[in-house]
Structure 1
C-alpha cells in the first residue's frame, strides 16, 4: 500500500552482489545506466536523448515519494497515499478531503499542500576526488567534519541561487563515491485531483504487499511558481492503455534505502538490536492509536493518516525481523562477504575494512539507545528542536555547521518549519507520551539522560503539560522564532522550546561521540570495501538506494505462487466480485453509484519485474517510447526482500494503470478539464 517505507521480508531468495546485477535487478543512477546489459537482455536500450527526457520529467517529492510531470503546465502524477497527508492537512471545518477525495474544478481551486516541495534533477556530477581529498588521512570526528565542510562548500558553489535550485552531495556505496545532484525545485505544490480514500485503500492491510489488487492509488498535483503553473515542456506523454504481457517497462523514481551492500557486522546489529525494537515499538504504538481513535468518530478521522503509516511500517518491520533471521539469507550474504574478502587479501590500500566495521558497530551498540531515545518524537517537539538547533547553526560559517543546516539545506527546512501545517493536539500528545515512556523503559529511570529528559515528571504529565502550553502549532509564532534567531530562542518561555534547549547540548555531545566512534570509521571502512568491490568485480554494480533518482528496467510478468501462475493484471469490474460489504473490502461510494457507467474490462492494477523499494511510491511506469502507462504504488509480498536482495522469479512491482486512472477521471470522480490537459498535444 505504501512504498514510502519499505524494508525486507525474505524466505530463501537472494541474488548475491558479487558481480554485475542479474536479469532485471538494479536501481541504476542516470549517469551509469547499463545500456549494454539491457540490450543483451531485451534486444534494445534507451539512448541518451530518451534518458535525458525521462530524467527531466521525473519528480522527487519531499514527503518521501516519487512522481512525474505529465503535462506542459506543471501537472504531476503520483500516488494517492503520497498526497494523503496534504488532504488531511486541508480537511478543515468538518470537511474530510481524505475520506471523500478532492477535485479542483478550476485551477483557482487547486490548494497548496503545506510542507511539500517538488524537485527535478538537472545534473549529476562526480565530486569523489574533492570529497576524499578533503578528508585525507583524517579519522573519526575530524573526518566527518571535513567531509561535511567539503560537501557544504560544493553545494554552495553548485547552487548560488537557492530560491529555485537545490544541491545535494550524495554518498554512494557507503563512502566509495560522492555525487553532486543538482535540482530545479518548486516550493509551491498544490493538490488537483484525488479519489476517495476507500478507492486507494480497498483491501486495506490484508491486501497490503499482495496481489491481485484493486486500488486506485493515483492522484495529481501541480507545481506553481510566482502564483502561476510552471511551464514543463519536458514531460512524459500520458497514454491510457493497458500494458501488454512481456513488454519492457521502466520505473523512474527515488528509492529510499536499501542494505544490499552492508557488512555482516552491520546486518548483525540490525538483526539483534534495531529491527526487533522497531517491530515492538510500532506494535505498541499501533495499539495506542487504535484505542484512542475508538473514542469518537472525530478522533477516528484525525488519527487515520498516522495509523495507516504505522500499520504499514509494522508490517515491514515484522518482515524485516523474519528476513534477518532467515538461515539461507544469512548464509548467502556471509558467503558474498567472504568471497570479496578473499579476493582483497594483500591488495594495496585495502587493509581489513571488515574488521574496522566490526569495531565501529561494536561501539555503536553502546551508543544506540541514548541516540534513539534522547530526543522524543512528535511534530511539535520536532519544530522546537529544529528551531533551537538552526538558530545556533546559522550563526556559524557554512562549513562548520551540522549536516542538515548548511545554506543549501536551510530553504527546505525553513519551508517545512513555517508552512501552515496543522497539528492535532491529541495525536501529538499520544506520540510524545509514548516516546517519553519508551525512553524511561529502555534506558531506565536512573539513567542520567532520562533524568535530563523527564526531570521528576511522568511521561504522561510531561506530555500533557507540553502540548497544552506550547504555541508552536501557530506558524506565525514559529516564524517569529525563526526570524528572531538565537535571541528569540533564548528569550522564549515556550515549554517545548525550553525542553529542546535543555536537551540540545547533550544531543550535540552524542552526535560528536557517534561521529567519532561510528560514522567516521564506518564510512572509511565502507569506502575501502567499495574500492575492493570495484577492483574485484568491476564498476558495473549499482549503489544502494539513497532516495536519489534511479531507473530500473523490467517487464510485465506474473510469477508462480504455490504451483499456480499469478495473472499480470486485474480488471476494474473485478472489484465488485471481490467486495464483501465489510471493511476493508467495502466498495468505494463512487463505484457503487457509477457501476453502470464503468467499463469493467479496463485494466486496473498490474505487475512488473522492476526492482524498486520504499520511496518509489508514485514513480511513473514508462514504456519504451517514454509514455507513462502507470504509477508504481506497491510490491508483492516477495518484493519486501528488496531491502537486501532482488529475485526476478517472484519479485514484483504493483502499479495502477493510466487506463484505470483515466476511467476514474472520466466516470468515478469526473474532471473533464484534467482529461483535456492530459491529452493536449
Structure 2
C-alpha cells in the first residue's frame, strides 16, 4: 500500500526535483529565501525585515534548534535536546528525568556542562576565494588547500573574539561557499524540563508517527558575564489554540540531506552506508538494553543513550525504505535524466561528464567506507561514529590529535584543529561531565568488536588496534587505568601540548598515540580518492544546476540555519491518515498505565486542572529533517506557535526528496507548553516572563 500511495505523487516529485523547488519544498538559506513564492503560496506578506527578526531569534543549540522567547535570554527547545544536560546534572538519587527540572528562581537554573548556543548574525559569500584555493589541484592537495583557506577566512573574521564563531559553509556540494558568523554563548543553563515520560509518552512505538501526545519541550537560558543575556529580538509567545490551515514557517538547523546526489551515489548509500549503519546501530541498541536490565543504576545510566540510538536506527529504517521503493527511485532517476538533458544543452558541457566522474568514485567508496566510518568517522554519509560514542575515547582523541596538530602551522593542520576552531574543541574538552566506566566499556567493546568484524581479523589495521588482546580485555584495562574523567587532567594535558601528551602514562592517551598511523592513513586515503574527486565533480554539477534552473534551486541541508514553510494540516494518504491536532483528552484516552503509555506522575496528577480540549501536538506540511528538532514554528506575525520535535516515518525519505503529500512535521504547541508550565509544574515565573495573561 505504501508504494501505491507514494507512486501517486511520484510525477509531482519528479517535476519538482527537475525544475526546482515547488510549493513548500526547500530548506532555504536566509540569504536566498523565496519571499515572493512563499507569500504567493501561503497568502502571507512577509518581507526581509521579518526574515531578519526570525534569524536573530533563532538559536542553534548543540545538534538541535531553538528559539528565543524573552528579552532575558530565555530559549525554548525540545526536551530531548536537553536530555544530555538533564542526565549530566542528575544523579541516581536526584534524577531530573523522573522528577522534571523546575527551578523556582533564576539562581537555581543550572549550567549545562559543555553546552553552547549560537545565533547567526552575518552571511558573506566567499565562493571566489574557496574556488581559487583549489584551482589546478588534485587529490589530498586539493582538500588540504581548501581546508587551509577556510581556516584563514574564519580566522580573519573572528580571531580574538571569544563571543563569536565563524564557519565557512559549503553549499550546493561545493557550488557556493558562505562565511557564517555566529554570536556564541558558552554559558547555557537549564531553566525548565518536564518529566521525561511527559515528553516521551508512547516511547519508541510512537516515535516518527502521528497522532502524538508528547510535551517535548524545555527551556534553557543564555548567560553572559554570569547574568542572563539581553535579547531584545525574540519571538512573541502565542498561547492561543492553533487553527488548521494556518500558514507557518519553521526556522532551524536541519542536519543533512542528500537530495543533490546522483543515482550512483544514492545506490552506494542504499547498498553500503545504510546497511552498515543499521546493523551496527541495532547491535548497540541490544547491548545497551541488556546493560540497562542488569541493575537500577545501569538503567539510569543507559536511559539517554538508548533513546538516542533508537532514534538513529528508526530514522535509518525510514531512509532505507525510500531507497528500496521502486516508485521513489524511479522519480529520482527521471529527475536526473531531465537534469542531464539540460546539462548536455549547455554551451560549456562538451567534453565534461561529472556523472561519469562520480560513478568512478563509487567503487572506491564501497571499498573504503567501513574503514573510514569505523576508524575516523566524519564521512558526511552515515551515522557510525569512531569510538562507539565513548566520551573517554573522544577526549583522548581530541587531546592526542590536538597536540599533534597544534605543533604545525594552522594552515597545515586538520581543519578541526585550525586556530579558528580551537575554542570549540576546548569547550567540549574542558566540560565537567559525569563519566560512567561501565557504560564506557560497553561502548568501546562494541566499537572494537564491530571494527574487527567488518574489517576482518587479518586486516593489519585491526591487528594494530588490538595487538594480542581481546576487545573486552583491552578496554577493561584502558577504562580502569585512565584518569581522563578528571577535567583538571584533561586541561593540563591540553595546555601542556605535545610534550605533555607524549610523556603521559595514561593508558588511553598512549593507546590513541599508538593507533595514529593506522587511522590517519585511512583518512588521507579517503580525502585523496573519495573526498577530492567528489568535490570536484559536485562543483561542476552545482554550476550546471544554477545554469539550468536558476535561483529555484536550494542547497542540501548542512546543519546550518534554514527556513521552510507550510500549513497546519493533517494527512490523507494510505498508511498515514490523521487530523491536524491531538489534545490532552486524547492523551488521557490513549493512556493504559503501562509503559510506554503511562502518563508521567505530575502530569497525571494535574489532569483535572488542564482543559481537555487544549491542543497538545499538531502536524505541519513543512520540509524538515533530523537537526530540525526544537525549531521554532512561527506565524506571519512572527509569533511562536510551537516547536518541531519529530516527523512521520514516511517523512524520513525527506533526506533524498520532498513529497508534500506525506511530509509532516510534528509540533508541540505553545498552548500545551503553557498548560504544562502553569497547571502541572508550577512554573508561573516563566509563564509571566512569556507574557501570558
Separation in structure 2 between the aligned mates of residue 171 and residue 244 of structure 1, nearest angstrom: 38
Distance apart, 1:321 and its partner CA: 2.1
Corresponding residue for residue 132 of structure 1: 131
Kept in 2, the 8 Å contact 1:162–1:408? The answer is no
2:557 maps to 1:556: no
Distance apart, 1:413 and its partner CA: 1.0
Separation in structure 2 between the aligned mates of residue 147 and residue 247 of structure 1, nearest angstrom: 44
- Kindly indicate which of the two structures has a greater share of residues assigned to helix: 2
Deviations 1:286-343 (A, max 9, x none): 1111111111111111101000111111111222222211111222212222221222
2:458 maps to 1:446: yes
Separation in structure 1 between the aligned mates of residue 275 and residue 374 of structure 2, nearest angstrom: 16
2:680 maps to 1:679: no
Kept in 1, the 8 Å contact 2:464–2:518? The answer is no
Corresponding residue for residue 356 of structure 2: 355
Separation in structure 2 between the aligned mates of residue 369 and residue 594 of structure 1, nearest angstrom: 51
Separation in structure 2 between the aligned mates of residue 665 and residue 39 of structure 1, nearest angstrom: 34
Relative contact order (alpha carbons < 8 A, sep ≥ 6): 1 or 2 greater?
A: 1
Q: How does 1:639-678 map to 2 (within 5 A)?
A: 639-678=651-690
Distance apart, 1:362 and its partner CA: 1.9
Kept in 1, the 8 Å contact 2:318–2:649? The answer is no
Deviations 1:323-370 (A, max 9, x none): 211111222212222221222226455411111111122222222222
Q: 1:594 aligns with which of 588, 594, 606?
A: 606
Kept in 1, the 8 Å contact 2:193–2:217? The answer is yes
Corresponding residue for residue 365 of structure 2: 364
Corresponding residue for residue 387 of structure 2: 376
CA separation of 1:564/1:91 partners in 2, compared to 1, >3 Å: closer, same or farther?
closer
CA separation of 1:471/1:349 partners in 2, compared to 1, >3 Å: closer, same or farther?
farther
Kept in 2, the 8 Å contact 1:633–1:655? The answer is yes
Corresponding residue for residue 205 of structure 1: 204
Kept in 2, the 8 Å contact 1:570–1:605? The answer is yes
Q: Which moved more, 1:335-344 or 1:166-175?
A: 335-344
Distance apart, 1:646 and its partner CA: 1.3
Separation in structure 1 between the aligned mates of residue 65 and residue 241 of structure 2, nearest angstrom: 22
Corresponding residue for residue 6 of structure 1: none
Corresponding residue for residue 623 of structure 1: 635
Q: How does 1:527-546 map to 2 (within 5 A)?
A: 527-546=539-558
Distance apart, 1:264 and its partner CA: 1.5
Separation in structure 2 between the aligned mates of residue 608 and residue 45 of structure 1, nearest angstrom: 19
Corresponding residue for residue 241 of structure 1: 240
Specify the SS of the correspondent of 2:652: helix
Q: Which moved more, 1:443-452 or 1:393-402?
A: 393-402
Separation in structure 1 between the aligned mates of residue 560 and residue 667 of structure 2, nearest angstrom: 20
Separation in structure 1 between the aligned mates of residue 237 and residue 421 of structure 2, nearest angstrom: 34
Deviations 1:473-525 (A, max 9, x none): 11111111111111110001111111111111222222221111110110111
Kept in 1, the 8 Å contact 2:237–2:692? The answer is no
Separation in structure 1 between the aligned mates of residue 692 and residue 201 of structure 2, nearest angstrom: 32
Corresponding residue for residue 424 of structure 1: 436
Corresponding residue for residue 320 of structure 2: 321
Specify the SS of the correspondent of 1:630: strand
Kept in 2, the 8 Å contact 1:79–1:617? The answer is yes
Corresponding residue for residue 382 of structure 2: none
Q: How does 1:257-268 map to 2 (within 5 A)?
A: 257-268=256-267
CA separation of 1:48/1:491 partners in 2, compared to 1, >3 Å: closer, same or farther?
same
Separation in structure 2 between the aligned mates of residue 545 and residue 589 of structure 1, nearest angstrom: 39
Separation in structure 2 between the aligned mates of residue 176 and residue 259 of structure 1, nearest angstrom: 15
Distance apart, 1:20 and its partner CA: 2.3
Separation in structure 2 between the aligned mates of residue 332 and residue 511 of structure 1, nearest angstrom: 34
Q: Which moved more, 1:190-199 or 1:151-160?
A: 151-160
Q: Which ranges in structure 2 are unaligned for 5 or more consecutive residues?
A: 376-385
Q: How does 1:99-498 map to 2 (within 5 A)?
A: 99-345=98-344, 347-350=346-349, 351-374=352-375, 375-377=386-388, 378-498=390-510
Deviations 1:89-111 (A, max 9, x none): 00136111112210111111110
Kept in 1, the 8 Å contact 2:92–2:300? The answer is no
Specify the SS of the correspondent of 1:528: helix
Separation in structure 2 between the aligned mates of residue 453 and residue 563 of structure 1, nearest angstrom: 47
Specify the SS of the correspondent of 2:636: coil
Q: Which ranges in structure 1 are unaligned for 5 or more consecutive residues?
A: 1-9
CA RMSD of the aligned region, Å?
Answer: 1.7
Deviations 1:422-444 (A, max 9, x none): 12111111010001101111111
CA separation of 1:159/1:410 partners in 2, compared to 1, >3 Å: closer, same or farther?
same
Separation in structure 2 between the aligned mates of residue 364 and residue 564 of structure 1, nearest angstrom: 36
Distance apart, 1:399 and its partner CA: 1.4
Deviations 1:242-291 (A, max 9, x none): 22111110000000000111112211111111101111111111111111
Kept in 2, the 8 Å contact 1:186–1:224? The answer is yes
Distance apart, 1:188 and its partner CA: 0.4
Specify the SS of the correspondent of 2:133: helix
Separation in structure 1 between the aligned mates of residue 366 and residue 92 of structure 2, nearest angstrom: 48
Separation in structure 2 between the aligned mates of residue 303 and residue 502 of structure 1, nearest angstrom: 30
Q: How many residues align?
A: 673
CA separation of 1:143/1:348 partners in 2, compared to 1, >3 Å: closer, same or farther?
farther
Separation in structure 2 between the aligned mates of residue 603 and residue 89 of structure 1, nearest angstrom: 32
Kept in 2, the 8 Å contact 1:19–1:538? The answer is no
Specify the SS of the correspondent of 1:632: strand
Distance apart, 1:564 and its partner CA: 8.6
Corresponding residue for residue 644 of structure 2: 632
Specify the SS of the correspondent of 1:174: helix
Kept in 1, the 8 Å contact 2:405–2:413? The answer is yes
Deviations 1:633-663 (A, max 9, x none): 0112221121111111221111011011000
